[in-house]
Amino acid sequence: MNVTVTGAAGQIGYALLFRIASGQLLGAQTPVRLKLLEIPQGVKAAEGVALELEDCAFPLLSGIDIFDDATAAFDGANVALLVGARPRTAGMERGDLLSANGGIFKPQGEAINAGAAEDIKVLVVGNPANTNALIAASHAPDVPTSRFTAMTRLDHNRALTQLATKAGASVTDIQRLAIWGNHSATQYPDITHATIGGRPATEVVDDQAWVEGEFIPRVAKRGAEIIAARGASSAASAANAAVDHVHSWVNGTPEGDWTSAAIVSDGSYGVPEGLISSFPVTSSGGEWHIVPDLEIDEFSRGRIDASVAELGEERDAVRSLGLL
Ligand SMILES: NC(=O)c1ccc[n+]([C@@H]2O[C@H](COP(=O)([O-])OP(=O)(O)OC[C@H]3O[C@@H](n4cnc5c(N)ncnc54)[C@H](O)[C@@H]3O)[C@@H](O)[C@H]2O)c1
Ligand SMILES: O=C(O)C[C@H](O)C(=O)O
Question: For residue 59, is it within any domain?
Answer: yes
ipTM of the complex: 0.98
CATH of the domain at 178: 3.90.110.10
Check whether residue 101 and residue 191 sit in a common domain. no
Check whether residue 172 and residue 76 sit in a common domain. no
Binding-site residue set for substrate: 88, 94, 127, 158
Check whether residue 142 and residue 165 sit in a common domain. no
Check whether residue 104 and residue 172 sit in a common domain. no
Number of domains in the chain: 2
What separation in angstroms does the CA of 32 have from each of 92, 110, 116, 247, 299? 38, 24, 15, 14, 45
pLDDT tens string 210-242: 999 999 999 999 999 999 999 999 999 999 999
CATH of the domain at 93: 3.40.50.720
Question: For residue 282, is it within any domain?
Answer: yes
Check whether residue 195 and residue 217 sit in a common domain. yes
Residue that finishes a domain, picked among 120, 150, 180: 150
Ligand 1 pocket (Cβ < 6 Å) reads 6-7, 9-13, 37-39, 42, 83-85, 87, 104, 125-127, 129, 151, 154, 183, 233-235, 238
Q: Provide the domain limits for residue 297.
A: 153-314
Residue that finishes a domain, picked among 150, 166, 191: 150
pLDDT tens string 127-176: 999 999 999 999 999 999 999 999 999 999 999 999 999 999 999 999 99
Query: Which residue among 4, 49, 83, 92 is best mutated to probe the pocket of ligand 1, counting the most ligand atoms within 8 A of its Cβ?
Result: 83
Spatial CB neighbours of 26, under 8 Å, sequence gap ≥ 6: 1, 3, 20, 32, 79, 246, 247, 250
Name the residue type at position 316.
D
End-to-end alpha carbon distance in the chain: 30
Whole-structure pTM value:
0.98
What separation in angstroms does the CA of 51 have from each of 4, 44, 54, 63? 17, 11, 5, 11
Ligand 2 centroid – CA 12 distance (Å): 11
Question: For residue 319, is it within any domain?
Answer: no
Residue that finishes a domain, picked among 121, 150, 179: 150
Ligand 1 centroid – CA 121 distance (Å): 19
